[in-house]
Every structure is written in C-alpha cells, then in structure tokens.
Amino acid sequence: MIENVDVTLALIAALPFIGAIFPGLMIRVGRNACALSAGWATLSALILLGIHSTSIWRGEVVVYHVEWMPMLGLNADFLLDGLGLLFATMILGIGLFIILYARFYLSREDPMGVFYTYLMLFQGAMLGIVLSDNILLMVVFWELTSLSSFLLIGYWRHTAAGRQGARMALATTGLGGLALMGGMLLLGEAAGSYDISEILRQREAIQASPLYVPALLLILLGAFTKSAQFPFHFWLPRAMAAPTPVSAYLHSATMVKAGLFLMARLWPVLSGTDWWFYIVATTGLATMVIGAAIAIFQDDLKGLLAYSTVSHLGLITMLLGFGTAEATTAAMFHIINHTIFKAALFMTAGIVDHEAHTRSIRRLGGLRHLMPITATLAIITALSMAGIPLLNGFLSKELMLEEAAHTAWEGNTWLIPVFATLGAALSAAYSFRYIGHVFLGPVRDDYPSHPHDPPFGMWAAPAFLSVLVIVIGIAPQLAVGEFLHIVADAATGQELHPHKLKIWHGVTPALIMSIIATAAGLAVVLAFTPLNKLWAATPKPDAKVIFDAVVDNAHRYSGKLSNALHDGRMTKFVAIFAAVTIVAGVYAFANGTYTPGTRAMLTPAAVDYIGAVLLISSTLAIMTYHRSRLLVLVLIGINGLVVSIIFVRLSAPDLAMTQVTVEVVTLILMLLALHFLPKHTPRESSLSRRTRDMIIAGAGGIATASLSWVLMTRDVETISGYYLKNAKPEGGGTNVVNVILVDFRGYDTFGEIIVLGIAALVIFALEEALMDGRASRKLANWIHEMRYSRDRHPLMMVVATRLMMPISLMVGVYIFLRGHNDPGGGFIAGLVVAIALLMQYMASGFAWASERIRFPYHAMIGWGVLIAGITGIGAWFNGMPFLTSAYGYVHIPPIEEFELATAMGFDLGVFLTVVGAVMLALYSLSRSARRTGESVNVSPMDYDPSAIAPDEEDY
C-alpha cells in the first residue's frame, strides 16, 4: 500500500467547520448569499476530494498525521482510501444538493442562517468519521454527529414532535456512543494501537484476544443505534419531525450510514467469526423484514420512507454480517444505490408536503396530473427502491438475493433466503403503494392546498439523482463498476478479482426470488385495504410509548433514590465515603504482604519540630473553634503559612511562593465572602455524631499517614529523574517546576486554567442570580448584626497601597520573566499582580479603583485561555505534539545573550487567566456589597442603629 502524505486531507475535514461560521453572518445579506456561503465550503471540499481521488484510482492511500497526545494514543490522523472516498463523496455530494434544495424549501420564517450552520457542523462531523485514521478521533467526531443531529432534528423547536424526536435520537445514539467509546478502547488495547491503519493489520491478534468479544459487542451496539437497527430502530421515524432537507441528508445519505461505515471499516478485523455472523447478519435480517412490514402501513409519506430506510439499512447490515467478500461488495453497491434513490425520494416527498400542505397519503392521490415533474422523479426512484430492472436498485437487490441464496443459518439453507425474499417483497409493496396511493388515481378536489410542481431549484437535485438511477441501472459497469471494485478492496482489505456488473445473469435463484418478491409486493398493494384493517386490529408494541415509559420511570425512580440518598447533609456522604475507603484499605492491607522499607529517615531539626507543633496546634484549634468562622479563617491561614515554610525547608521555593500568594488571595476573598455570612455557624451535630466523625477522621488520618510512611521509606524510582535530566535540553529552562508546568505537563496546566476561568464565571453567574428576585430584595434590605468603625478608607493604608502598586507590578513582571529559569512563572506573577490590585480595591474602595483600573475581567480570562491554546497549537506547525515548547538564544548588542521560549506565551495565558479570575471574583463580591449600600473595601456596615436586623435563618 503506497501512502501519499498530503496536508489538504485535513483541510477537507476542516472546511465544513470553517463554512459553518459564515451562514449566520451572510443571512444579513440575503437568503441566496446565505446558501452560497454554505455551498462554497462543501464545493471546495468536494473539489479537493476529487483531486485526491486520482491517487485512490492509482491504488494509493492519502494520509496525513498530526501528533496530538501521542502518550495517550490520540492523534489527529486522517486516511483516505476507497471506502473513505465513497462515503466522503456521498456526504459532500448529497450535502451540496441539500444546500440547494433547502434554499427553496425553507420558508422566510425559518432562520436559514441557523439551519446552514447546524448542517455544516453535522457535515464536518460526518467527514471526520469517514476520514479518521484514529479510532479515538473517530469517537470524538461520532459524538459530534449526535450533538449536531440533535440540533438539526430539533430545528423546528416550536413543535413538540421536533423536540421529542431530537431528544429520542440523542438519547439512543448517545447511549450507543458511550458503548462505542468503551469498545474502541478495548479494540485499541487488543491491537496495541489506536490507529486504524495499524489495527487493520492485527486481525489474528484481535480475534485471539479475550477482549475481542466485549469489544465487538460494544462496537456493534454503537453501530446498531446509529444505523437504527432493531430494536433501536424506533428513533429514526420520530426524527422525521425535522424539515425534509434534514431527513433527506441525515437519514438517507449520512448519519444512518455512519454505523454501516463503522462496520465496513472494521470488517477486515472483526468479521469471519460466529459472533460476527450471528449477531450482525441476524440483526440485519430482522431489521430488514420488520422495517419493511411497518413501512407498508404508514400513512405519513416521510414515515413510510423512514421505515423503508430502516429496512434497507438492515439489508446492508445483513450483507456485511455474511462475512464474505462478495456480500461486502454487494453491500457497498447497495449503499451507493440506496443513497441516490432514497435522497431523491425524500426530496420528492418534501415537495409534495411543501405544495399540497400535507404528508398524509389518505389525503393525496392523482398528483401525476398536477405535478408531472415531481411524479416522474418519484416514480423512477420508487421503482428503483422496489428493485425493478433497468434501475440501479434492481442490481444491488439481485446481488443481495444471490448472496442470501448461498448462506446458511445454523445449517439451515432455506431460512435466510426465505426471509430475504420476504423482505424484498415487502420492500416492493411499500414502493408500489408510494407510487399508486400518492401519484396515481384520479385528481381529488379536497387537497389542503392546490398542488403544483415547484420551482426548478427545488426539483433540480432529485432530477439529477434520478438520472443517476437510470444511468447506473442501464450501464452499471461503465458508471460505477471500476469505482465499486476500489471500494470493495478497501472495505475487505483484500485485492479482489474485478466483479463485472451486468443486468442479465441468466435464470438464477436470485432472479426467481426477485420475481416472486415483485409479484408478492404487487399482490400486497392490491389487497391493501383488508390487510390494513388487519394490521390496525393487530395489537403491536408502540416504540414511542415504551421509550416514554422507560424515560419516565427512570426519571421517577432515580429521583426517589436520589432524594433518599441526597438529603443535603454533606457530612453524611463524606463519612460514608471515608469509612468505605478505610475499610477497603484495611481489607487490602490485611490480605496482602507487607515488608518494612529500607530507606533511612532524615534527622529532624528544631525548626521541623516547631513547624509540626504549629501545624498540629492550629489544626486542633480549628476543630475546637470551628463555629467561629473568622477565627477559623485566620487559623487556616496559619496552616497555609506553615505549609509554605515546609516547602522552603524541602527546597521547593516555587511551591512556597505559590502557597503564600494563594493564601493571601484566598484569605482576602474569603474575608469578603464572610462579610455576607453570620459570624458563627449554628451548632448542628450531637455529641454522638461528633464522636462518630472524630473516629472516622482519626482512622482516615492514621491510614493516610501510614500509607505515606510506607511509600516514603521505600527506594522507588520516580519520574523526577527524567524531569531533572531533560528540563534544560528539551524545555530550555533550569527551573524544573516551571518547565513541567508549561511543557512536560502543559496539557494539565491548560486544563487547570480553563477550570479556574470557569469557576470565576460561575461565581459571577451565581452573583447575577443573587442580584435578581427574592434574594436581591433580601440583600438590599439586609442590615448587618454589628456596627463598625465609620473610617471607610484609612489614610495610612491608602498611601501605603498606592506606593506599593508600581513596586508590586514590577515584582510581578520580574517573577513572570524569570520563571523559566528561576522560581516564578505566570501563575505566581498573576497572583502577585492580583494581590496588588486587590489591595487597591480594599484601600480606596471599589468605585475609586474601577475608575482607574478598567480591565475587562471576562475578556482577560478568555484571552488567557486563547493565548495559551494558540501557543500549544503552534507546536503542530513544527510537527511536534500539542503544547511542546521551543526555545532559542538571542543576542542584541549591547545586551548580553538571552533566551526566548514559546513557553512565555503559554505563561502569559496563565497569567491573564489568573488575574482575570481573581478580579472577577472580587468584582462579583463587590457588586453584592454595593447592593447592601456600602463600599466593598469596608467590613463595617454604616446603618441606622435603630434598624432591626432580619432573622438569621432568612439568609
């Protein structure tokens, strides 16, 4: 296999996401501009795909690799072979038709910009699935399809059916996505790699692994839910509440084909076993027959087409389940044919609904006289779906029947052929009913709206697809023969002998089965009225009722369980968790083997004893005086300072500086927060409860100390040696701690600053809620329980803080710049600057400081995360993993040589996020303080002493 590395392959996957940005902007210009803005991205990706197709025709494979998180096996690897080319062409080609069709289908009341944005997001997610060369990356895109399809199905959110259909689709496919995630992890473990191209070479290892069966079951669960296989078929018809362009795109060409693609992509390594055959083939056969039977008696046009889609998806799944190269080739051919005729059928159904204002078959009929163009297109594509000769559906149906005729189930040679023929007969029946009950018969005079053919823009796409139906049906080998061979080779992982597609194969079992199926289908339509009455009288399980009952009962009983367990007493849950952990640890220790450590203890100095006494004393004081909130806060500060001293003692100046600055910031913010709380907490615990908690806490402390002792008295090799050795040559810094934070473990730091920013925004959001409604009125009328000094702004503090401000900023900048080689860095510098700003607010008041320090704190958090992310992405352009730093040395006369590292950009992001988060928290507290009628810098409250404070329980 010849690999052709090309970066434009990643661009193809990215173009739809880029294109999703523009429709929302271009709708201001007009509906045509909006549609064009979505179409250009799809067309551009399709052109690039066509350029790459020449390599595929030459037998090459186009790849592009980007190391993302190689330690975890997650890489942004892309692969384009024959199978990926087929599905990518379907996604982009049908997508282009849908963009055109939707332009004329959607009304002026529908927000077209939103629709095209959702559509492009879904298109990008689907392209990501079929182009991924990493199963973990595929899972990411898989989940994106579930989310974006939820938005598309629920696009008409003003309708209850649209909202419920979206929820049902998300719940079902989301559950399958979770199963798929577990299956992919097991598959990667069995194969020793998460790259698909490598997994496909490990067939023997995977099928010999004990992980094969659980991985297969989980992966198939994900595929079956996405491709609406029985018993997960119920969500697809409910999704028909979406606009017809969505139905035509998601449910004929793309989303429901994702499960089929997954089975086809992994077919070379998962197929060929009894597990695969009996699960996949049986499920597909059952889905084919059940879906077709339900489709016949549907009154809704789109409902009929939805269940017919379920049936044809089952047909393809059954062929993949047979496990032979010939059956897989037939499956690939039917995927092509089904995509073409089913997309056209959905579009014609949408035209009928758009013009006649109804989808009820009982209210239609005779439309061939009023809508000749639409009728012609619908009849051609419906006959193809029925499997009538000289149309493309006939060819793949014949191949399916041929494979079914030679497949046995548990040694039974007639079971699969009979049910396959039954499925084909039912398929012909609903196709004939679609034609006869909608377009044939006399013209009616009671249509909800007088139907007529739509503008060219609406029927152009189904017309083109109908032409393909005829061309492939008449000249299959010329139209798709060579392409099908390339696709089949990629799907099976084999070099197959070219299979010539012919219309006539002689009198074969498949032909006889086809004739029987067609005649039986026609007979069903002729006897439709009595059969429909029998169907209506037959009791049947309703999937919607079952789904609703399951959801309602799950909600009800989980609520009861949650209310019984979560009664608001956090101490109960902490006690349970701690007790279970301690018991599990004691059990493990008692059943294990313990050997004393060999590492000698360090000799403690006097300062160590002093620190230990202070730490133990302050902790005991916290336990004793825990009801006095202010005193406890001071004691906690003492604990923090003692811990800082311990860090200094253990030669960890970075940690000491961080601990001190964190203690100062948290102490100030918590003092401000305590301003809104009573000075003392009420006595809640009984003596027996406190005794219980003391025993559990004591046991937990002893267990933790024992575990620490066991670990620290053993000679173990830690990763610290690696960091000490490689900090300078690989990270370019002599401060190992900072290099770890911004390079070796930069992804952790990136996640932490995101969490920090989210926490600040949550505080702001909670404060916003506090400023409105009942809580706001209580806050406005609140009178503190004590009176304080009226000296709001002590002169000495004002003068001192203003003199310290420039010095503090200079120290912050100095600590920031030196961080890569000496103790410091963006986090500590951010805290130092935050402390300087906090002191200004406290000394001079929030209003005074805000007039002079106009930082948009939300924007600082956003810019911090963005700068850190951009710095990390920059490593990709050097072919390095995300957040790998680069460095170099610069000499600018007369300045001596100095070092520049990209880690400074990451540190700048950390710095901005820290400052923004701290100041946003301060801003939130200050707004609440001003709501009470005072300035934030004052802990005293200036109110009329005659006022009566409300009850403490109201707070």
**Is the distance from CB of 400 to CB of 334 less than 8 angstroms?**
yes
Q: Rounded CA gap, 309 and 295, in Å?
A: 9
Query: What are the phi and psi torsion angles at 643 (to 5°)?
Result: -60, -40
Q: Give the C-alpha separation, 796 to 365, whole Å.
A: 91
> Radius of gyration of the chain from Cα atoms?
35
List of residues 6+ apart from 37 with CB closer than 8 A? 19, 22, 23, 25, 26, 116
CB 339 within 8 A of CB 98: no
Residue 696 lies in a domain: no
- C-alpha 312/C-alpha 292 separation (Å) is 8
Partner residues linked to 69 by β-bridges? 74
The closest of 739, 742, 935, 910 to 834, measured between CA atoms, is: 910
827, 908 in Cβ contact below 8 A? no
Structure tokens at 730: 């690989």
* Residue 845 CB burial class (10 angstroms; 0-12, 13-18, ≥19): buried
Give the whole-angstrom CA distance, residue 508 versus residue 762.
Answer: 70
The total of structural domains in the chain comes to: 2
Residue 409's SS3 state is strand
Please give the Cα distance from 512 to 398 (Å, whole number): 10
CA angle 42, 44, 47 (to 5 degrees): 110
Token pair listed for 548: 């609703």
Cβ neighbour number for residue 414 with a 10 Å cutoff: 10
- Cα separations in angstroms, 591 against 126, 577, 597, 701: 51, 21, 19, 21
Size of the chain, expressed as the number of residues it contains? 955
CA distance 425 to 335: 19
Domain-embedded: residue 641: no
Query: Residues of the chain whose pLDDT is less than 70?
Result: 1-4, 568, 676, 684, 770-793, 891, 895-898, 927-955
Q: Is residue 627 included in any domain, yes or no? A: no
Q: What is the dihedral of CA 488, 489, 494, 500, to 10 degrees?
A: 70
**Residue 845 is assigned to a structural domain of this protein:** yes
Measured CA to CA, the distance from residue 705 to residue 11 in angstroms comes to: 54
**What DSSP string describes 823-862?**
S--HHHHHHHHHHHHHHHHHHH-HHHHHHH----HHHHHH
CB 194 within 8 A of CB 135: yes
| CA–CA dist 317, 323 (Å, integer) | 11
Q: Which residues form the domain of 897? A: 736-955
Q: H/E element holding 888? A: strand 887-890
Q: Characterize the bridge pairing of strands 78-80 and 60-64.
A: antiparallel
Last residue of a domain, one of 480, 497, 526: 526
Q: Residue 259: CB partners within 8 Å, gap ≥ 6?
A: 222, 223, 224, 225, 226, 227, 229, 313, 317
At 616, phi and psi to the nearest 5?
-70, -40
Task: Compute the CA torsion angle 671, 673, 679, 682 (nearest 10 deg).
Answer: -130
CA atoms within 13 A on the CB side of 806: 2
User: Which pair of structure tokens corresponds to residue 343?
Assistant: 């997309």
User: Strands of 78-80's sheet, edge to edge?
Assistant: 2-5, 60-64, 78-80
- Considering 502, 526, 550, which residue would you say is the last residue of a domain? 526
Contacts 24+ apart (CB under 8 A), 828-831: 828/654, 828/657, 828/658, 828/661, 829/907, 829/911, 830/910, 830/911, 830/912, 830/913, 830/914, 830/915, 830/918, 831/658, 831/661, 831/662, 831/664, 831/665, 831/914, 831/918
Distances (CA, A) of 142 to 147, 176, 251, 331: 9, 10, 15, 22
Omega before 231 within 30 of 0, i.e. cis: yes
Q: Return the HEC string of 105-130.
A: HCCCCCCHHHHHHHHHHHHHHHHHHH
Burial pattern 507-527, b for ≥16 Cβ within 10 A else e, equals eeebbebbeebbebbbebbee
Among residues 526, 551, 586, which one ends one of the domains?
526
Within a domain: 826: yes
- Distances from the Cα of 267 to the Cαs of 28, 80, 182, in angstroms? 47, 17, 18
Report d(CA 280, CA 287) in Å as an integer.
Answer: 11
Structural domain contains residue 606: no
Query: Cβ neighbours of residue 122 under 8 Å, at least 6 residues apart?
Result: 145, 148, 149, 151, 152, 249, 250, 254, 255
SS3 assignment, position 807: helix
pLDDT score for 944? 37
Long-range contacts of 641-644 (CB under 8 A, 24+ apart): 642/611, 642/614, 642/615, 642/618, 643/615
Q: Which of 850, 818, 813, 808 is nearest to 829 (CA)?
A: 813
Strand 2-5 with 60-64, pairing: parallel
In a domain, 5, yes or no: no
User: Residue 107, exposed/middle/buried by CB under 10 A (0-12, 13-18, 19+)?
Assistant: exposed
Residue type, 872: G
Q: Let me know if residue 753 belongs to a domain.
A: yes
